[in-house]
């Protein structure tokens, strides 16, 4: 893949439309989701989180629910919430029983592991030793760092995950945690690509989320490192609290000419369960691109 081959925004418009139309909406197994389920477009690709205030079984319960509604869910597993190899086997068996072949694997922000696994690499290695239905595993990436993991360790972990997936013959992608700085994303990914990162990238972006909800729920759900960017960057904070709030296009537009060159092949849209507003924003954005 060749980098630094930027294209103009008009030329990039068809790719951007495709990414928006096919973007995965992230939903959370919390009570406020029920009233929003009717606003999910038919057959939508969904990403079902592993909430730190719920169990992995709750994640799979919601996965089954939206699957029954005709959507295309991908459940999250948090490595530090997997209690044992036996627990992992039970989870994988249930995923297989739903006819699913993809998961999204996060490390999890619990200070201490619930059981045998400390990170995502260990879980991928354990999965390869199990009977499973998986052909694709998404993993996390952190363009603007992590609250308590060094940039060096994040870099090594991403490449370790890439290598384990490759050795196992399982396809994958890396989805970025929410970041509001287009320049930081571009610089981070340029460096990682030059170092040998080959995984496709799914760009994590906020949906059309109420700004207070974004700050409060973001801190609860493990994206505090990205949200700290807001506190350090007055201009972005000002935009968020201006009339109309934060528009996700403020991140997508500056990156439009780099999407293809940097291997950004998908969008992971953080809805914080504000699905109606997010879908309205997405549809309007697609219409504006012509």
pLDDT in tens, 31-42: 889 999 999 999
Percent of the chain at pLDDT > 90 equals 65
Is pLDDT above 70 for 2? no
Query: Minimal CA–CA distance to 282: which of 45, 34, 39, 23?
Result: 23
pLDDT tens track for 16-59: 999 999 999 999 998 889 999 999 999 999 999 998 788 999 99
* Res 225: pLDDT: 46
**Worst-scoring range by mean pLDDT, 81-85, 261-265, 286-290?**
286-290
Question: Is residue 269 classed exposed, middle or buried when 0-12, 13-18 and 19+ CB atoms within 10 A define those classes?
Answer: buried
Q: Which residue has the higher pLDDT, 166 or 2?
A: 166
| Residue 6 pLDDT exceeds 90 | no
DSSP the chain: ---S----HHHHHHHHHHHHHHPEEEE-SSGGGGGGGGGSPTT-EEEE---TTS-HHHHHHHHHHHHHTT-EEEEEEEGGG---HHHHHHHHHHHHHTT--EEEEE----SS-SSS-SSHHHHHHHHHTS----SEEEEEE-TT--SSS-HHHHHHHHHHHHHHHHHHT-EEEEEEPP---HHHHHHHHHHHHHHT--S-EEEEEE-S--HHHHHHHHHHTT-HHHHHHHHH-HHHHHHHTSTT---THHHHHHHGGGTTTTTEEEEEEE-TT-HHHHHHHHHHHHHHT-
- 126-158 pLDDT, tens digit per residue, is 999 999 999 999 999 999 887 778 899 999 999
Q: What is the pLDDT of residue 45?
A: 98
The angle formed by the CA atoms of residues 119, 58 and 270, to the nearest 5 degrees, is 70
Q: What is the pTM assigned to this prediction?
A: 0.89
What confidence score (pLDDT) does residue 5 get? 59
- Output the pLDDT for position 217: 57
Which domains, from first to last, does the chain contain? 9-288 (3.20.20.220)
């Amino acid at each position: 893949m060749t980098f630094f081959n930027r294209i103009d925004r008009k030329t990039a418009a068809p790719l951007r439309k495709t990414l928006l139309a096919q973007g995965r909406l992230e939903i959370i197994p919390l009570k406020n989701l029920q009233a929003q389920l009717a606003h999910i477009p038919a057959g939508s690709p969904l990403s079902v989180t592993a909430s730190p205030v719920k169990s992995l079984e709750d994640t799979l319960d919601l996965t089954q629910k939206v699957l029954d509604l005709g959507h295309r869910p991908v459940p999250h597993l948090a490595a530090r919430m997997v209690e044992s190899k036996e627990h992992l086997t039970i989870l994988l068996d249930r995923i297989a029983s739903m006819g699913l072949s993809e998961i999204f694997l996060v490390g999890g922000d619990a200070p201490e592991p619930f059981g045998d696994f400390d990170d995502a690499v260990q879980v991928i290695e354990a999965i390869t030793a199990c009977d499973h239905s998986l052909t694709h595993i998404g993993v996390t990436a952190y363009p603007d760092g992590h609250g308590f993991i060094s940039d060096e360790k994040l870099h090594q972990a991403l490449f370790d995950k890439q290598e384990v997936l490759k050795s196992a013959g399982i396809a994958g992608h890396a989805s970025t945690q929410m970041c509001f700085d287009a320049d930081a994303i571009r610089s981070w990914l340029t460096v990682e690509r030059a170092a040998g990162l080959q995984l496709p990238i799914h760009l994590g972006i906020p949906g059309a989320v109420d700004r207070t909800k974004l700050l409060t729920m973001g801190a609860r759900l493990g994206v505090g490192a990205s949200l700290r960017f807001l506190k350090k960057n007055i201009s972005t904070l000002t935009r968020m609290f201006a009339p109309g709030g934060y528009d996700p296009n403020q991140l997508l537009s500056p990156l439009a000419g780099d999407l293809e060159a940097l291997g950004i092949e998908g969008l992971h849209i953080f809805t914080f369960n504000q699905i109606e507003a997010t879908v309205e924003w997405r549809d309007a954005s697609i219409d504006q691109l012509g």
